[in-house]
Structures are given as C-alpha cells and as structure tokens.
A and B are shown apart, each in its own frame.
Chain A
Amino acid sequence: MAVATPPAQRVERLEVMWQSRPGVLGWLTTTDHKRVGLLYFWTTLALFGAGGVEALLIRTQLIKPNNDLVSPETYDQLFSLHGITMIFFFIIPMSTGAFGNYLIPLMIGARDMAFPRMNALSYWVFLGSAVFLYTSLALGTAPDAGWFDYVPLASKQYSPGHNIDFYALAIIFNGIASTLTAGQFIVTIFKSRAPGMSFNRVPLFCFAFLAASFGLLFALPFLTADTIFLFLDRNVGTHFFDPSHGGVALLWQHLFWIFGHPEVYILIVPAFGIATSIIPAFTQRRLVAFPLVAIAELLVVFIGFGVWAHHMFATGMSTVSLIFFASATAVVVIPSTIQVFAWCMSFVLGLARFKTPLLFIAGFIFMFVTGGLTGIMFVAIPFDQQVTDTYFVIAHFHYIIFGAAVFPIFGGMYYWFPKVTGRMYHELAGQISFWLVFAGTNLLFFPMHIVGLLGMPRRVYTYPDGLGWTAYNVAETIGGYLTAAGILVVFGNLAWSYRRGVPAGPDPWRGPTLEWTTSSPPPEYDFAVIPTVTSAYPNWDLDDRAADRRRLVEGVLVLDEGHEQVEVTPVDGRLSEIVQLPHESPWPVLLALALSLVFVMLLLQQYGAAAVMGAVCLLTLLGWHSEEPQPVDPTAASRRIGRPASWWGMLVLIAAEATLFTALIGTYFYLRFKTTPWPPDGVPEPKVVLPLILVAILLVSSVAMQIASNAAQAGRLATTRLWVVIALVVQSGYLAYEVRDFADQLGTFDISRDAYSSIYFTLLGADHAHVALGILLNLWLLGALARGLTTYRANATQAIAWYWHAVNVLTLVVTGTLLSAAAG
C-alpha cells in the first residue's frame, strides 16, 4: 500500500475505479446498489400510481348504490390487480428493492451488495414480471379472482380465460426477483459489514430487513408451489385442488396463507426498520430496549409463519386445529407491542422534533395500534367467523398495510431525501402532506369497520339502496380522494425540492447510522475509507469517525487498487478478507429478457419454445460466468477467516430449495390424510428396493464432490477434476435410469389420473430437475477447471459440492416420502 499517496489522490482513484458508464447503457448495465435502488424506486412508484388509480376507481364505483361506472367483470379485475399490485409490486419492492438496496450497504459500511450482478438481475426480473402482469390489463384479461385467487373460482372450470394464468405466472416470475433480493440482503448483511460491526451493533434497520428477507426466503416457496399446482391443474390436467379426483380445494388456502400471513409481516417489518432509523435521529437518543426491539423484529416474522390458518377460521376445520393458529395470533402481538412501547418510550425520553419524517412515524404508530387492536379481535374464532369476508376485514388490513407499511415509506422518503438528492425538502408542504394523508386514510378506512359490522361483504361491485351503507361509502370515497391529494403533495414536494431545495450537506439530521458519514448524494464507492464500528450508532461515535479520516491519510482500508470490498465473519464482524466485486455487466438484463420470454411462452402454452428460451437463459448464465473477478492478492483466500460469500449464497439457495420441497412433501401428506385408499385403487404401489439402491449410489457422489471440493481448496487441480468427473458419471447414470423409469411409469398411470399421480409425478419430476441442474453445474465446472484453478473456481467447486449434498439429501427424503405409500 502506497502510504505516501495523498488522500485526494486516493479519492480520485476511487472515483475513476467506480465510475459508471454514462447514459442509458450505464443504467442497463449498472450493478451499483444505489442505481439499482433508484431503478426500483421509479418503477414501483409508477406501479403505486397504477394501484392507486385502481383503488380510486373501486371507491368511485362504490360511492352510491346500484352504480354502474364499471362492469362487474371490470370491477373484479380492478380489485384483484389493486391487491396484487400493492402487495407484490409496490410495498415489497419499494421497501426492500428501493430502500433496502439503496441504504443497506451504506448503513453497514459496504461499497456494494455481496453479489452486485445478482442484485441487478433481481431488478430486471422484477420489471419483467410487472410488464408481464400489466400486459394482461391491456389485453382485458387481468387476474380477476382476488389477490389470493381462491380455487375453485380460479380453476379452469370457472375461470376459463387467461386471467388466472397471468396471475399464476406473474406471481412465480415476481417471486424469483424477491428471492434473489432476499438472498442478496441476507448474505450482504452477514458478510459485507464494516469491521467491528458485530451482530450486537448491526443497525435495527438491517435487523428488520434481515427479518423480511428470511421471511421472503422461507415463505415464497409455498406460494411458488401453490401457483405451480394451479398452473398444472389448469393447463396440464393435474388434480391438486379437484375433489372429484382426490384433490382438496382447501390445499390452495393452506399453501397460500403459509406464504400470505408471513407476507403481511414481511410488508410491515421493513417499515419497522424505517421507524427505528427515524426515531433516534429526531429524538437524538438511542432507541429504548435495543436488543428487545432487534429480536422483536425477527420474532414478528418467525411467529408469523405459525398463524396462517387464522385466515381459514370459516372453512370448517376442527376447533383443535384452529387453536394452534388462534394462540399463535395472540402471541404474535407481543413482539409487536414490545416495539410500540420502545418507540413511544423513546419519544418520551428523548427530545422529539416533530419534523415531517417523525410525523409520519407518529401516524404510523397510531395506525398500527388501531389496526392491531382489530387484529387481536380475530383471535376469537366465533368473532372472526362473523366478520369474515366483510368490510371489517378490509378496514383491519388497510390500517395495517397502508397505515403501518406505507406511512413509514413516506416518512422514509422525506428522511432520506436529503441523502439521495443532496437537497432538503420543503418542511411546511411536508407537514401539510402528512395531515392530508393522515386525515384521508382515517376517513377512508375507519368507516369500513362500521359498514363491515353492518354486514357489507367485500368484493361486491355494488350494493342495493336502503341498507344503511351509503353514507359510510360516501365518506370512504371522499377519504380516498383526500388521501390521493395528500400523496400528490408528497411527490409534488419532493419533485419541487429536487430542483429548488436548499443544499442538505452530508448530515442534516445528525443521524445515527453510517450513511450520514458520507456525502449527499453518496459517491459511487460509498465511502472513501471503509469505516470501523464500535457501537450500534456509529455516526455518533466521533472518535471512530476521526479515526476513519486518519486511516484515509494512512491508506488503511481505502481499497483503491480495484473494485474491492471487505468481507467479515458473519457473527462478530472480524475482517475476513478483501474481495474483488464485479462491475457493470450486460448479463443481468439479458438473462431477465430471456426469462421473460420463457414466461410468455408458458402463457401461450408453447412449451417447446419455453424450453428453448430456458436454454437461452442457461447460455446467458454461461456468458455471465465467463467474466471472473480477479483477486488483487491471489493468496488472500488462503488467509481467509471463515467461509466465502459464495458459500453463504449457496446456503441461502439450498434453504429456499429445501423450503420448496417442504411445501411439496407437505402437500403429499396433506392429500394423503384426506384420501383413502392411498395409492388409489388401480395404481401400482411404488417399488421399494431398487429406488433405495439408486439413492444410495447417488449419495456416493456427495463423497466424490466433497473430495473434489477439498482438493480445490488445497489447489490440487488434477485431483479436483478427477473427482468431479467421477461424481458426474455416477449422477448421470442415476438420472438416465430415473428418467427412463419416470417415462415408463407415466405409461402405466398418467399424471392427470388423480391427485395421487399428480403429486407423485410432480414431486419426482422436481427432484429429477434438481439432479439435472446439478449435472449442468458440474459440466460447467469441468469446463471452467479446464482453464486452470483460480480462487473463484475453488469457491465454485465448494459451493457446487454443497449443492450436491443438499440435492442428495432431498432425493433421499423424496424417495422415502414416495415409498411410504407402500407401507400402507
């Protein structure tokens, strides 16, 4: 390291090194987390506008009885798209995609995400899924069975058009983007923190996003499985949800709500994170009960996985089954309450300055508590059964979703506006916008409680006169327009301030976290020197920040010799190694484009063309991996403490895949409990001995892959290649036999015969697909190893070995599950 280099020259080198390409091409190929965050911001804002217009049309239709502004068919599409847009295409991507992408690396002292290209891919896939969904509206075939899309209404029999196919495919497509984002955040927060930022010093904002990311990672596979079943039922003739062939319609609801209820917490937990950032800044004190708030953020999502069937209290399940969900619903209130108390006590004990961001947070607490109180009422099963499917439920979840998720988003926009743009917003206009939105939302949503208790059902496109509902609906509609006016003031203020606002400086709020230590807007490399941290409020540690400035002069942790970033140990934040990050790349946008075409072909039922586009995706991935980031110091890996980010990335992928198989295996046993005999008469019992022998042989490939991995870490190229080839031979032999057997069995009993055959072939097919993917990975690995052994390829060998261990365990479990039918 050139100690004699002056700090200004170091900063200049960083600027050159991290400079983005200008123009549209720069945006298309960007991997900069801030630019990706801004892309998410503008896209989700447009979608928020679309969802908002849909909401206003719904409210206008309901302003008077027997209104005919829109037809029933259009109304169905409007309320379905409104829900889908706001949940999947606005709140999640705005909070995680925009806020998370922009802020997480800045808050943890990183220069970018752990996998910058994958981060860019998540945005382009998200954009593709949004265009895909809204194409359905342009074609007049938008989803029309609600955002939860219950069967049998969503089955081919009752919804023969493409509406539901658009829904199923858009949700799967969108889920890929969300999974990529979630995985990215988990690995980034685990591995890319500033040295010294042990887990007890991680900002609460990051705890919240970690909770949301784990939630997405473990919840989305259930929705993916559900929508795959729906697509197969509608287009391939399977019978997952068809009771006439052994299927169970309620299966849709179970899988949907195992995703759907954690989803509610996934929506609001990032908002908790925003609140825990804003409150310390505007009270100038540390948040009360820091460890309890941190665990409460995680617990809300974790316990949220155990409440799914409280959406199903009116479906005829037994009381003893429902007890589990009613109890969990009661208990999940506790971590939420811990946070409310911590926020309120921080107000009381600090010197609260009620600027616009804090006003929105105060409004959020009011809305969250109000919505929470009605939420607790649903614990009482008889009460829930009375108000199910009425406007009371709409009132409750809009208080939560709009009040608790969107209010903090607005607060966050005002709070970080100076950081992102370098300018201050207009304070008076900000306060006016808050009061308009606050009054509007309460006028919009509060009367829904009353009209719901009066019996007005949800999802009706109109209602007759004389039921006493009209005045409430008029008030709600006025509230809707008032809210829209307030939102327009928010964005008008921000747009005006972007041009005319006074310069903000790096830290206008005296904020506690690291993003306020760098300039506004931040440079492309985020920090001139990687900060070191000794508390959870590092910007208030003046000695540490002075030390940063000294280190810039000394050239310590400036990392100006490449596109470099530090990695740390996940728990204690000890410096692990310095890694080279990839810079701008065309591959993410190209891969997303190819993937979009896969989904278009699936919609058109052109399965051959979809397979061809799938192959194009694989070729794109080959191109992607042809560029290897070169380590500045090739011997650094040997001095690494702990495992590399690639290993953690693979672990996250394995977790998502294991969850997907949990959903499939859970479905198998759920159908089995509901169907006798199992397997149905006329279907042969599965063979037992041969599959077990084959699985045992496949397990041998795990040993071979582990030896290859160890050899790669030790730098022994020939040994690595040899054991990868041995593994590949075993894996290919296994798959060849299994594919032939699969085809033979399809000849005996068809996948569309009944629910048993549907889950049997789906489960087996999913497992074979994972084995096939592993073989492709090994083929790629052999190709890469033909060019020698690098740190990148050694890490890849390790990650692929772990993939194989996971696939082999999954194969064992899947085989055991399928063979259990032979046990009677």
Chain B
Amino acid sequence: MRRLEILQWAGLLGGAMLWGLGHVVGYGVTEARCSAGGVAGGIDFDLWEGLITGIAWALALAAALASLAVIAGTQGASYESGPPVGRLRFFAIAALAANTIFMAALLLYALGTIFNVACRQA
C-alpha cells in the first residue's frame, strides 16, 4: 500500500510540476536568449529547448505510468470506496488524464520552439 501511496502522489503531482517547470524555464530561456541583457546569448537555443522539454516530457510520461500502476493496483475498487483504496484510485484516474494533457502541452512546446526561428519578432 505504501508503494501505491508514493506512486499516487508522484503521478498526481509529478506531471503538473514538470509542466510548470517546463513552461517557466522554457519561456525563461527565450527571454534570456532574445533580450538585450540576456545571459544566454551564445547558447544553442534548439538544444536547450529540446533538452528542457524532452526531459520534462519523459518524466511526465513516468508520472503517467505511475498513475497507471496505481489504477492496476486498485483494480476491483471503486473510486468512491473508502480511503485509502478508493482515494488512491480516484487520484490515479484523475492523474492519468492530467498527465496526458501535460505531455501534449510539452510536445507542442518542443515542436513550436524547435521549428521556429529563435528571436524573430511575431
């Protein structure tokens, strides 16, 4: 049960935190790269963005798999059952949906930044 508890929280919070970090750091790199006083003027922009979003995406996938493991581990229970089993299943179902959305967002970031020219005004 303790293993499932850890997996449930990792699944529920992991994707959200990674998307948040990927968003802020990914956008922050564009500001640092494209601003007059930026500290990242010489960096390989595509490499940085690819690394940031790629790592975040892989870890979000791990969070999704953690949720899936909890769903499998609570088979037979209802999401309305008493805690902890019902609560574990409830959060895992929710987390699986959330992590899928976060992975989609991170993929869009990666494609959008890598296939666009850095620092061109919109």
Interface residue ranges, A against B (CB under 8 Å): 196, 198-201, 290-292, 294-296, 299, 302-303, 305-306, 309, 313, 316-328, 330-331, 334-335, 338, 381, 385, 534-536, 571-574, 670, 672-676, 678
Contacts and interface: CB of A to CB of B under 8 A. Distances in A.
A321 B87 contact: no
Nearest to A196: B82
B93 A198 contact: no
Contacts of B63: none
Contact of B120 (A198, A299, A319, A534): A319
Nearest to A202: B90
B38 A673 contact: yes
A574 B49 CA distance: 45
Nearest to B84: A572
12 contacts: A200-B80, A200-B81, A200-B90, A291-B79, A291-B90, A303-B105, A306-B20, A313-B122, A320-B117, A321-B34, A324-B26, A331-B104
- The B contact surface, by secondary structure, is helix
Nearest to A678: B37
B101 interface: yes
Contacts of B80: 200-201, 290, 535-536
A303 B122 CA distance: 23
B30 A331 contact: no
A323 B121 contact: no
Contacts of B86: 198, 200-201
A373 B83 CA distance: 39
Contacts of A334: 101, 104
A338 B32 CA distance: 36
B27 A331 contact: no
B18 interface: no
A200 B83 contact: yes
Contacts of B27: 309, 321, 324-325
Interface of B: 16, 19-20, 23, 26-27, 30-32, 34-39, 45, 49, 79-84, 86-87, 89-91, 93-95, 97-98, 101, 104-105, 108-109, 112-113, 116-122
A200 B91 contact: yes
A237 B82 CA distance: 59
A291 B80 CA distance: 9
B119 A318 contact: yes
B113 A323 contact: yes
Contacts of B45: 320
A738 B19 CA distance: 38
Given A319-B116, A331-B101, A385-B122, A199 B108 contact: no
A200 B87 contact: yes
Contact of B122 (A196, A331, A381, A535): A381
A302 B18 CA distance: 13
A309 B104 CA distance: 19
A327 B97 contact: no
Given A200-B87, A319-B120, A299 B101 contact: yes
A305 B109 CA distance: 16
Nearest to A295: B94
Contacts of B82: 196, 198, 534
Given A324-B23, A331-B108, A292 B119 contact: no
Given A331-B101, A535-B80, 14 more contacts: A199-B83, A200-B87, A201-B80, A295-B94, A295-B98, A305-B20, A319-B121, A320-B30, A320-B118, A320-B119, A323-B116, A324-B23, A335-B101, A673-B35
B87 A199 contact: yes
Contacts of B98: 295, 299
Nearest to A246: B37
Contacts of A321: 27, 30-31, 34
Which one of A199, A292, A302, A327 has the highest number of Cβ atoms from chain B below 10 Å of its Cβ? A327
Contacts of B36: 673-676
Contacts of B87: 198-200, 571-572
B68 to A, nearest CB: 14
Contacts of B89: 200
A572 B104 contact: no
Contacts of A309: 27
Contacts of B23: 306, 324, 328
B39 A673 contact: yes
A200 B112 CA distance: 37
A724 to B, nearest CB: 34
B103 to A, nearest CB: 10
A324 B109 contact: yes
Contact of B105 (A328, A381, A673, A678): A328
A291 B98 CA distance: 11
A290 B37 contact: no
A128 B61 CA distance: 49
Given A198-B86, A200-B79, A321-B31, A326 B112 contact: yes
Contacts of A292: 93-94, 97
Contacts of B31: 321, 670, 673
Which of A313, A323, A385 neighbours the largest number of chain B CB atoms within 10 Å of its CB? A323
B6 to A, nearest CB: 14
B41 to A, nearest CB: 11
B86 to A, nearest CB: 5
A462 to B, nearest CB: 32
B109 A338 contact: no
8 nearest A-B pairs in the assembled complex, by CB-CB distance: A323-B112, A295-B94, A200-B90, A327-B108, A572-B83, A673-B35, A198-B83, A321-B30
Nearest to A248: B35
Given A299-B101, A573-B83, A291 B109 contact: no
B63 to A, nearest CB: 13
Contacts of A335: 101
A573 to B, nearest CB: 7
A275 B35 CA distance: 45
A201 B87 CA distance: 8
Contacts of A303: 19, 101, 105
Contacts of A313: 122
A676 B113 CA distance: 26
B101 A318 contact: no
A309 B28 CA distance: 13
B118 A318 contact: yes
A309 B118 CA distance: 17
A573 B90 CA distance: 15
B28 to A, nearest CB: 8
Nearest to A670: B31
B53 to A, nearest CB: 10
A323 B109 contact: yes
A334 to B, nearest CB: 5
A328 B19 CA distance: 10
A520 B50 CA distance: 59
Nearest to B118: A320
A318 B122 contact: yes
A79 B36 CA distance: 37
B90 A199 contact: yes
Nearest to B49: A320
